[in-house]
Structure 1
Amino acid sequence: MAMSRALKLETIEEWRELGYYYDYDKEEKFWIIIGSKEGILKFCQTLKQYSQNPNNNTKSEHDHLGPYMYLKIVTWNEAFINDDGIYGSLEDLSKLADIIKACSDKAAFADIITIDKEYSSSNHSYIKIFVREDDFDPASPDTQLFE
């Protein structure tokens, strides 16, 4: 079923507030993050804020991200990435934010940052971050909005 115009506009605004676009590649088993350097920094800030909230210290505590809410950050006793989201202790998730920020700081437009074993050797999936121009619109890759 097609999205209504009102829902499309709401979803566009939610992507823009989030600051980046995400999706999951089921065949290759990786999370796609697309954003400007500012948008990628927002992703890092989301991980940092989650990791700094003591209410998130309980195993299975989680946050859903974005308009479709299928990427999750989950508190767990070990660090890993799978098709459901990003798992780890609050310390692990903070470390991941630091890894991504360090890579992003060195990245240029059109670079692709891959995060895998540097986060965890227990990953079932990994993260690919596509660095876009400063005026990148995070809603633009969402094909459902333009059907």
Structure 2
Amino acid sequence: MPSTKINAMTQPEWRELGFFYDRDDDLKKWRLRGHKAGLRQFAERMRTYASNPRKGVVSEHEHFGPYKYLEIGTWPTSEITDHWIAGPVSEIHRLAHLIADHLDTAIVGDCIFLRAEFAPSSSYEFVLEIETDNFDPAKADIDCWP
């Protein structure tokens, strides 16, 4: 269990990120939980990543969140694995737009499954879970609370 000091540092990092994520290796899926504004921040960071000319090189990547295990990266083909969500920058950009488009019509309680639209042959699913506007991503991290 993390120390009280680590928890005190981790909680604001979740809140700044705007969503909570985890990876379930048994079910083979990445899950991002957040309110629409927090998930839009993720889409915007993906767009920023894809617009950066330095990110066009294969294996470039960016880590997200307090634990840094959610990773977006540049790869020749689109894929969702236990390691990352990756693809050519043009596809990362397209995924960011897909997320934004889905959020435009999503309602609280919706689950948006993105593997079929982004990387259908991937071994992992990528799911956005839409929460209420008062959702606190730090409270979703059970390791942050004694």
**TM-score between the two structures when normalised by the length of structure 1:** 0.96
Q: Mapping of 1:6-21 within 5 angstroms?
A: 6-21=5-20
1:41 is paired with a residue whose SS is helix
Tell me the CA shift for residue 135 of structure 1: 1.4
Task: Supply the distance in 1 between the matched residues of 2:13 and 2:124 (Cα, whole angstroms).
Answer: 25
Gaps of 5+ in 1: none
Task: Supply the distance in 2 between the matched residues of 1:79 and 1:128 (Cα, whole angstroms).
Answer: 16
Q: Mapping of 1:82-121 within 5 angstroms?
A: 82-121=81-120
Gaps of 5+ in 2: none
**TM-score between the two structures when normalised by the length of structure 2:** 0.97
- 1:75-130: CA deviation from partner (whole Å, max 9, x where unpaired): 11111111111010110000001111111111001111111111022311111111
Task: Supply the distance in 1 between the matched residues of 2:45 and 2:30 (Cα, whole angstroms).
Answer: 16
User: 1:123 maps to what in 2?
Assistant: 122
Tell me the CA shift for residue 41 of structure 1: 0.2
Task: Supply the distance in 1 between the matched residues of 2:121 and 2:96 (Cα, whole angstroms).
Answer: 18
What percent identity do the matched residue pairs reach?
35
Task: Supply the distance in 2 between the matched residues of 1:130 and 1:78 (Cα, whole angstroms).
Answer: 25
Structure 1 residue identity aligned to 2:79: F
Task: Supply the distance in 2 between the matched residues of 1:9 and 1:38 (Cα, whole angstroms).
Answer: 23
2:31 is paired with a residue whose SS is strand
Structure 2 residue identity aligned to 1:106: T
Aligned residues: 146
Task: Supply the distance in 1 between the matched residues of 2:85 and 2:66 (Cα, whole angstroms).
Answer: 17
- 1:34-60: CA deviation from partner (whole Å, max 9, x where unpaired): 000001101101111100111111110
Whether 1:41 and 2:40 are equivalent positions in the alignment is yes
Task: Supply the distance in 2 between the matched residues of 1:121 and 1:106 (Cα, whole angstroms).
Answer: 22
Query: Which structure: greater helix fraction?
Result: 2
Q: Mapping of 1:62-77 within 5 angstroms?
A: 62-77=61-76
User: 2:80 maps to what in 1?
Assistant: 81
Q: CA RMSD in A?
A: 0.9
1:118 is paired with a residue whose SS is helix
Structure 2 residue identity aligned to 1:64: H
Tell me the CA shift for residue 9 of structure 1: 1.1
